[in-house]
Structure 1
Amino acid sequence: MKAIILLGTLKEKGTSNTQVLTEFAVSYLEKQDIECEIIRLAEHNIVNGTYTDMGAGDDWPGIYEKVVAADILLFATPIWWNSHSSELQRAIERLDEVYDIINAGEDSPLDGKLGGVIITGDSDGVEHVTGNIANFFCSLGITVPAYSSLGVIWEGHGKDKKTTKANLLKYYKKEYAQDAEAMAESFAKFAGK
């Protein structure tokens, strides 16, 4: 089993809250024998557009190949103004060609894959963002199993808080270990492991 995680942090380098929560979730997924690859979108040149291949210098086609080859697709995003990040939105727009394939009467290349969400923020909005992403997944043929979201809203995620990685992990382990375990077990169950 292979999971691709599209990490939508806005930071090209360095630690981010969403990256740390993603690594935390990965530790539980790997206990279920789910191999994980995190793709930090901000490190790639993903040009604007709504097609899989937008020409020379575009990193999206290689990322898309990994998405198609995976069994599980996870979107990891911070919440900005009650929405997912602009990095993740660009990936969503680039996946629009899958919807074109479906509208043309063909099978979705993502049909039967499992999808889930990892979200960080310092105020509300998890349900709104999760719902939007779940709707998007369902429109592309991706199954969203029960317990497939891990959302953490905490003041320690505040933009100016500078919470250390160690303190983030301590908080996640204390408050969200059960949720991360339920997510990993759900993916394993729905994948027939």
Structure 2
Amino acid sequence: MKAIILCGTLRKEGHSNTVTLSQFFARYLEDQQVEYEIIRLVAHHITPGTASDLGDPDDAWPQLLRKTLEADIVIFATPIWWGSHSSEIQKVIERLDALHDKLMKGQPSGLENKVGGIIITGDSDGAQHIIGTIGNFYNAIGLQLPPFATLSVMIKEHGKDQYPSEEQLLKIYREKYDKTARKMAQALFSAVRELHAVY
């Protein structure tokens, strides 16, 4: 079983709250024997557009799309910026719109029998709005969002003016979000197994 975490941090390299939370969660995927890859989207050139392939030789999206379609579990990980998901996640949503177009034509999107999850970092509320928006998009492109498949961490240490170390964040995550992360990983794993058993 494979999972891909499309990470919408705006930091091209170095410490990122959203990358750190994604890495924290990925350990629970490992406990379920799920292979995973975390992709820092901002480190790749994703050409703006709504097609799967825009014919741009520098566009990384066709390769990232292949990896997404090969995964059993697709997770969007995003920080909250002004009450919404990041611009990197929005670019992915726009490029995945082509799969919705296929569904509207009666063709498979390629994401049937796959499940989605959502990871969110922030220092104040806004997570429920983002879960609603991304969950609606998952539904529109064929991804199933099972119960308990979200991990949102709203803590002051995520604030723009805060500079916690990775170790400090991981300590907080382990102490306060262990059960939530474990339950999410188990929910995703179980949902994939059930889908494979049916189809």
Deviations 1:28-56 (A, max 9, x none): 01100111101110000001000011122
CA separation in 2, counterparts of 1:45 and 1:26?
Answer: 24
Q: Does 1:22 align with 2:22?
A: yes
CA contact (8 A) 2:3 2:74 kept: yes
Q: Does 1:3 align with 2:3?
A: yes
SS in 1 for 2:37: strand
User: Normalising by the residue count of structure 2, what TM-score does the alignment of the two structures yield?
Assistant: 0.95
Q: What amino acid does structure 2 have at the position aligned with 1:188?
A: F
Counterpart in the other structure of 2:118: 117
Q: Does 1:178 align with 2:148?
A: no
The runs of at least 4 aligned residues of structure 1 exceeding 3 Å deviation read: none
Gaps of 5+ in 1: none
Counterpart in the other structure of 2:190: 189
CA separation in 1, counterparts of 2:88 and 2:189?
Answer: 28
CA separation in 2, counterparts of 1:173 and 1:98?
Answer: 37
Q: Give the deviation of 1:188 after TM superposition.
A: 1.5
Gaps of 5+ in 2: 195-199
Counterpart in the other structure of 1:47: 47
CA separation in 1, counterparts of 2:90 and 2:45?
Answer: 14
Q: Please list, as runs of the form range in 1=range in 2, the aligned pairs for 1:69-84 lying within 5 A after superposition.
A: 69-84=70-85
Counterpart in the other structure of 2:135: 134
Counterpart in the other structure of 2:197: none
CA contact (8 A) 2:113 2:192 kept: no
Q: CA RMSD in A?
A: 0.8
Would you say how many aligned residue pairs link Structure 1 and Structure 2? 193
Deviations 1:102-143 (A, max 9, x none): 011112211121001000001100111011101000111101
Q: Please list, as runs of the form range in 1=range in 2, the aligned pairs for 1:52-71 lying within 5 A after superposition.
A: 52-55=52-55, 56-71=57-72
